Amino acid sequence: MPLRPTDTDVLADICTSVALQNHGFLYVDRVGDEIRSQYESSDTGALKASSLSRTDIKKAMDDIVSDEYSELQRLRTGVYYYDPFGTGDNREITAELTALFRQQLVVTSEKLRSRFEVAIDDIDFFTEELEDRRLLKRVAAGERDYFTIGSQLKEQAGEAGVEARLQEKATYGKLSHDQLEKVINVSATADVIRYLEAEGFVIDLDGEYLVQSDEAIAEFGAYLARQIGDDVATEFESSAYLLPAEEFSQLVENEVSERSDVLAQAREVRGDVLDATEDALADDLGLEEDAPVVRQGDEFEAYVDRRAEEIQREVTSSDERLATESDFHDVGHPMIEEIHVGTAQQANEYARDAIRDRFDEMVADQFRVGTSES
């Protein structure tokens, strides 16, 4: 015990400063030498003790925290806490959490304790402080505590690249269980998966996880399009490369459902998945939408040319009098009306209109050539 009393004002200032270096926590046994060194180098005056032992520090600290105006509070013997949030000195904590959540989506209390060098007996107190200030959000309280970014921190830091990391690790828009755990850096327990689904990050597909980003769903749609592409192409070929838009969408849905349970398991994004698959098929097969049909562009145009040429030959070889373009129309148009490309009337009408237009162009070209030659 010092022969002269401890300068508690000086000690309180030193301890506050040291506590801030450890996110508000002061462990006398851990930093006693640093406190003593700073105290000895301070100006305490001739009537105050010039040096303190750790026992002296603990005794003086009890006097300090007993003051109702003290900003330090005693958690237990030798352990004190200075609230950095109440005085706006929490920038380091916010920065540390932001950096942490740029690396991980979900963290355990053990990870937080290690990151902030908090004693095991104090981690519950610390996480509650962070939760109260919406810097942390508890995912679940089961066998282990998991935390993710809180709403207040999210406002400042955003999602911290979570979606990009999930997307980067995904294969065809999906993650395996092991891949997901590598991204989130914690065990993918049921509680964690429920959180990820609730927050719109992934959809559980029975052990695989569809990433809920536009890019990932587009990749998944492209993957599905490759799986069903041959069958869709065959369907177009058998229907003159032309399908009603509704029939095309139903075809895609049926083909996807035959190969995957994704539409039943991921109802939240089933429309997005189907749209992405249709977009990818359009690119792969050269499909074009021209309401009310979807056509396979180049192939359909070749079909129209071929049928128009066939009709022209039939008309020309007929016994009808063909002195004018109108005569060709009178004979050829009824033949065109007999053409069927499928059971849907809208597809038949679309095909007939296209063939009729092409036939009329060919007839007009024929008469132009005949007029110029004469």
Q: Over the stretch 136-152, which tens digit does the pLDDT of each residue have?
A: 988 865 567 788 888 88
What is the rounded CA–CA span in Å between residue 339 and residue 351?
Answer: 8
- Tokens representing residue 122 in the block: 């104090």
Global confidence as pTM: 0.72
User: What CATH architecture is 8-82?
Assistant: Orthogonal Bundle (1.10)
The CATH number of domain 90-212 is 3.30.70.980:
no
What is the rounded CA–CA span in Å between residue 199 and residue 281?
Answer: 30
Segment 313-371, tens digit of pLDDT: 999 998 888 889 999 999 999 999 999 998 899 999 999 999 999 999 999 998 887 66
| DSSP three-state, residue 129 | helix
What is the rounded CA–CA span in Å between residue 222 and residue 203?
Answer: 18
Domain borders along the chain are 8-82, 90-212, 216-295, 299-373
pLDDT value of residue 86: 78
Q: pLDDT class for 1, splitting at 50, 70, 90?
A: very low
Segment 80-105, tens digit of pLDDT: 999 998 777 788 899 999 888 887 88
Q: pLDDT class for 282, splitting at 50, 70, 90?
A: very high
What is the rounded CA–CA span in Å between residue 77 and residue 58?
Answer: 8
Identical topology for domains 8-82 and 90-212: yes
